[in-house]
Structure 1
Amino acid sequence: MAAKLADVAARAGVSPATVSRVLNGNYPVAHATAEKVHRAVAELHYVVNGNARALVSARSDLVGVLVHDIADPFFGVIASGIQDSVAEADVLAVVCNTGSSAARELSYLKLLRKQRARAVVLTGGSVDDPDLHGAFVEQLTELTASGAHVVLCGRPPVTDAEGRDVPGLVTVDFDNRDGARRLTAHLTSLGHREIGYVTGPEGRTTSQLRLEGHLMAIRDAGLDEARCPVVSGRFDRASGSTGATELLRRNPDLTAVVAGNDMAGVGVLTELRSRGIEVPRDISVAGFDDLPFSSDTVPALTTVRIPLTEAGRTSGRLALGNESPPPGGLLPVRTELLVRDSTAPPSRGRNSTSGERAPSAKAAE
């Protein structure tokens, strides 16, 4: 029976993707690894099937766009930007909703590879699942080795178990950490000393990076972290509301609340309003992303702007090969602090030691 590619991989002790890279010569492989593959090929008398190779290398007109939650405007805006770029390229862009599940994301990658997708764009932060990371890296490697363009939009570069970048990927990376740092630094510069934070889902890189930036600003200002509580959320309105409740329970003297994104920020505003707490007179509130509704809230939400539409368009052009990859495969996207009406200096006479809040108009009634 003729040897198969999997047989060569097993004999050489490497993955099928590595065998493909060695035989195709389209990606650099360590000399010792290449020697093992060539030795296995000779020992098994493996012959490349030219027809199969031609079939595998053929690309479809399918572009896969993976999002965590299509109902979240963050992903809708990015996906719309991607479709703007591919609309005139005679390709079909298919949006795949992963529900923030690493397993579902992996399943979609496998299906897209089977369909010989021309390109794949993965949006939003990656989900930390060590049990699936190896399989995730393997699927990305298989996709790029087959000729598909893979773009990561809004997530850090992917590395293998040894910390090496996966070859062939292009990363459009949002500066979440520095944007969050500048946002909280804006509040500390106004005089806020007791600032609560509602973070996003645990295990997602976007949540981690924004929290890191927030804590950097808290420490830079020399604030007492015990007086600046952090609660977990889900990047939605409900977690913003419950998060505000829990933050005030932990520290009733808060003068500001930062939400991990604008959706949660709206939940914070709603909860504070229901309690008769005026924003920003009693408590300042800030979000992140600058989603389309952020300037229309009452008061207008101070936030950090990510150029989501343009990031999506750029990702689409990169996915189709209509734009040259950036040096090193990494394109950083700068964020912008937008100061609006929801943040102001703490109320006069109210500080981290007073423990008093000026009554709101509603409370006074």
Structure 2
Amino acid sequence: MAVTLADVAARAGVSSATVSRVLNGNYPVAGSTRERVRRAVAELDYVVNGQARALAAASSDLVGVLVNDVADPFFGLIASALQREIGAGPGNPPSGGKLAVVCNTGGSPESELTYLTLLERQRAAGVVLTGGAVEDGPHTAAVAARLARLASSGTRIVLCGRPPLPDTAPGITTLTFDNRGGARRLTEHLLSLGHRRIGCVAGPPERSTTRHRLEGHYAALAAHGLVPGDGDAVGSGDLPGQPVVYGGYDRSSGYDGALELLRKDPSVTAVVASNDAAALGVCAALRDRGLRVPGDISVAGFDDLPFSVDASPALTTVRIPLQEAGARAGRLVLGRSAPPPGWVATVTTELMVRESTAPPAHPARTARTDR
């Protein structure tokens, strides 16, 4: 026979209303009383009736976490930190735990919208969208409309690693990553070493992360008079001595992108990759062409994923505190942290200089492309 709220109240020696207040966490209860109720819940192995509670509270114990690729360490680090913060466990009260459901969109805009609709039907207590946004007017409008409906029904919304939506409304919090600033500092580092012909293996052209990192890259080049003003450079294609190829955020895209860069301009002395995984692919392609990193070409990544420091050579990259950002997003989506002013906060990035970058040995080097 199922244990009831009344059973817990009898075991703890309190009223059913007091048990409800402790479980919901929506009313002050004396510490000793709260501990008696929690002990009774544990002893009786009481399980809250989630469906009844959802109907009563107009929300469930479900928090949806949307990621582009659950196998990508970038998203894995954010999602795992989120889940630790959201779920019941050490440091979290039994009444505060939520069910974190990771929704893998595969980078599909249609899947993103489908998951948001399903989470709305489930009366999700919270939704966290991670990673760069697809920059398409109709899709952006559709996402904004779904998130506005969710927020109006009491669902907390957090965008983690995304730019703010136009006219960000209360109930939608944004933790945006400083991709522009990080990319600018990375390119400035290469320029300070003496590089003047810097190729870029960028991410998907429709993603906000790609655009923001390219804007930072071009801003640094423009400050040294190597390209037109940063506002004119992005999206204009190749610029003299600064070739760009687009791909994904994976090793194979980095490998193919590096080969394409060498075909476009065999005299590049440095390559900036879309992220660390792509940077490993760039390094592999250069080795297969008989080129040394950084002896012949310097290579830099982005994100500072765990394997970056153990690569050979260790990758110069830009660190995003992904786990810290994920944990903060978890606290925000549960209402444990107050929203930032204006509902938007910027997560700072840090340049990590390692062995994969060095001054150019041969300013006008020609790559061996016949291998």
TM range (shorter): 0.7 to 0.9
Give, in angstroms, the shift of residue 130 of structure 1.
2.0
Corresponding residue of 2:207: 204
Q: Verify the 8 A CA contact 2:269 2:365 in the aligned structure 1.
A: no
Corresponding residue of 2:74: 74
1:97-116, CA deviations, whole angstroms, 9 ceiling, x for partnerless residues? Answer: 11111111011001001000
- Cα distance in 1 for residues equivalent to 2:351 and 2:305: 13
Listed as ranges, the matches of 1:150-229 within 5 Å are 150-159=157-166, 164-223=167-226, 225-229=239-243
Corresponding residue of 1:29: none
- Cα distance in 1 for residues equivalent to 2:77 and 2:126: 19
Q: Verify the 8 A CA contact 2:317 2:353 in the aligned structure 1.
A: yes
- Cα distance in 2 for residues equivalent to 1:115 and 1:56: 14
Corresponding residue of 1:32: none
Corresponding residue of 1:108: 115
SS in 2 for 1:322: coil
Corresponding residue to 1:308 among 313, 318, 322 = 322
Corresponding residue of 2:129: 122
1:230-278, CA deviations, whole angstroms, 9 ceiling, x for partnerless residues? Answer: 0001111011000000001111111000001011001001111111111
Corresponding residue of 1:97: 104
Q: Which amino acid aligns with 1:197?
A: C
Displacement over 3 Å in runs of 4+: 54-57, 354-357
- Cα distance in 2 for residues equivalent to 1:138 and 1:243: 36
Corresponding residue of 2:86: 86
Q: Does 1:271 align with 2:271?
A: no
- Cα distance in 2 for residues equivalent to 1:113 and 1:101: 19
Corresponding residue of 2:344: 330
- Cα distance in 1 for residues equivalent to 2:190 and 2:142: 42
Q: Across the two proteins, how many residue pairs are aligned to each other?
A: 298
TM-score (normalizing by structure 2): 0.78
TM-score (normalizing by structure 1): 0.79
Corresponding residue to 1:255 among 260, 269, 276 = 269
1:25-80, CA deviations, whole angstroms, 9 ceiling, x for partnerless residues? Answer: xxxxxxxxxxxxxxxxxxxxxxxxxxxxx948521000000001111110000001
Q: More deviation in 87-96 or 284-293?
A: 87-96
- Cα distance in 1 for residues equivalent to 2:226 and 2:140: 37
1:107-162, CA deviations, whole angstroms, 9 ceiling, x for partnerless residues? Answer: 10010010000000000011123223322111101100000100000001011xxx
Aligned CA-pair RMSD: 1.5
SS in 1 for 2:173: strand
Q: 1:259 to 1:107 in 2, by over 3 A?
A: same
Q: Which amino acid aligns with 1:74?
A: F
Question: Which blocks of at least 5 consecutive residues in structure 2 are unaligned?
Answer: 1-53, 89-95, 228-238
Corresponding residue of 2:249: 235
Q: Verify the 8 A CA contact 1:56 1:116 in the aligned structure 2.
A: no
1:151-190, CA deviations, whole angstroms, 9 ceiling, x for partnerless residues? Answer: 000001011xxxx223321001100001000000000000
Give, in angstroms, the shift of residue 220 of structure 1.
1.2
- Cα distance in 1 for residues equivalent to 2:268 and 2:137: 37
- Cα distance in 2 for residues equivalent to 1:128 and 1:103: 13
Corresponding residue of 2:355: 341
Q: Verify the 8 A CA contact 2:255 2:284 in the aligned structure 1.
A: yes
